[in-house]
Amino acid sequence: MQKSVAIVGGGVSGLTCGVVFAERGFSVKIFAEQIGTHTTSGAAGALWFPYDAEPAEKVIPWALATYKVLVELANNPRSGVSMIELRQYCRSGKIEIPDWASVISSEVERSLDISGSIFSSGFSIRVPLTDTTVYLDYLADRFQKAGGKINGNIRFENLDDVKGDLVINCAGIGARELAHDVDLEPHRGQVVLVPKMENLECAIVCDDDPLMYVIPRASDCLFGGTNEVSDNLNPDPATTKAIVSECACVLKIDNPRVVRERVGLRPFRKSGVRLEKEKLSDGRTVIHNYGHGGSGFTLSWGCAENAFDLAS
């Protein structure tokens, strides 16, 4: 009989692992407290861009593997994935173009016009954007079509309690308690959703302090952001105000109306993304796949494939 696989976590990591295992014939169930758009994954800007995750020697290969899959998915309008021009800026000095940029695109524009802007230098590159309002449902749907089952509103205190021949732990920041991992640090991010901007066709990011990004999506526009060590899931009104004015200033527009504020905890792991096997107390295997920090979407397919290799 085929082995049963139980995945803890219904964010991008759990759903992507679910698709990879279910489409290869495994009997897979996802168990999670929250599913899809209700998770940290649902709060993300979800651009493909390696950020706030370690270690680079593993993160970049996982990111490049994911890039290939997302580029393919961008051909399917129902996936919520599209290719977008990302303009990356800094506020002082000359921006450094990462080495991986030349691997993924020959279309890197090495020097952006910054005249009249608050920036000192920038580059642009085409990258996948996953619109979380569509993509997480797409993954859940694809998983279920491959025979997978999703069980929400379930919270585990212990991985030994998860039923399945093989357990995959995709609990994000929840792995701090579930896997007793003191290395996990919540990198809190607050974002603000504003109405769709018809004329905006590129994403704009500056990760100097204050971190700012503007991401146009199918039916709204996402303004960010923050990155601080904190567990507070409540949006802070002063932060919302600051985010909106900084983004509006960059776009040279009046402050737009706030549609929604969201907060998520990036699961940053000081010793690096945890993708490895361990034995549960009854001898079953658990594969840990968490700690993707600010790159959960960027690493999702590379890590899910790696988890599959570990299982086989």
Ligand X SMILES: Cc1cc2nc3c(=O)[nH]c(=O)nc-3n(C[C@H](O)[C@H](O)[C@H](O)COP(=O)(O)OP(=O)(O)OC[C@H]3O[C@@H](n4cnc5c(N)ncnc54)[C@H](O)[C@@H]3O)c2cc1C
Q: What are the residues binding ligand X (CB under 6 A)?
A: 8-14, 32-35, 39-41, 43-47, 49, 154-156, 170-174, 178, 189, 191, 224-225, 264, 266-267, 290, 292-298
CB of 116 to ligand X, least distance (A): 27
End-to-end alpha-carbon separation of the chain, Å?
Answer: 16
DSSP 13-28: HHHHHHHHHHTTT-EE
Answer positive or negative: Cα dihedral of 291, 293, 295, 297: positive
- Which residue, 32 or 166, is less far from ligand X as judged by CB? 32
- Which residue, 94 or 270, is less far from ligand X as judged by CB? 270
CB of 55 to ligand X, least distance (A): 16
Other CB atoms within a 10 A radius of the CB of residue 272 amount to 17
CB of 138 to ligand X, least distance (A): 15
> Edge-to-edge strand order for the sheet containing 27-35?
149-151, 27-35, 4-10, 166-169, 285-290, 274-279
Answer positive or negative: Cα dihedral of 247, 194, 189, 51: negative
CB of 106 to ligand X, least distance (A): 23
| Contact indicator for 84, 34 with CB cutoff of 8 Å | no
Residue type present at position 291: G
Other CB atoms within a 10 A radius of the CB of residue 307 amount to 27
Q: What share of the chain is helix, strand, coil (3-state, %, to 5)?
A: 35, 30, 35
d(CA 193, CA 215): 10
Residue with tokens 């901007």: 197
- Which residue, 4 or 51, is less far from ligand X as judged by CB? 51
- Which residue, 122 or 131, is less far from ligand X as judged by CB? 131
CB of 289 to ligand X, least distance (A): 7
- Which residue, 25 or 278, is less far from ligand X as judged by CB? 278
Which residues lie below 8 Å from residue 180, measured CB to CB, with a gap of 6+? none
CB of 108 to ligand X, least distance (A): 19
- Which residue, 116 or 234, is less far from ligand X as judged by CB? 234
CB of 264 to ligand X, least distance (A): 3
- Which residue, 12 or 81, is less far from ligand X as judged by CB? 12
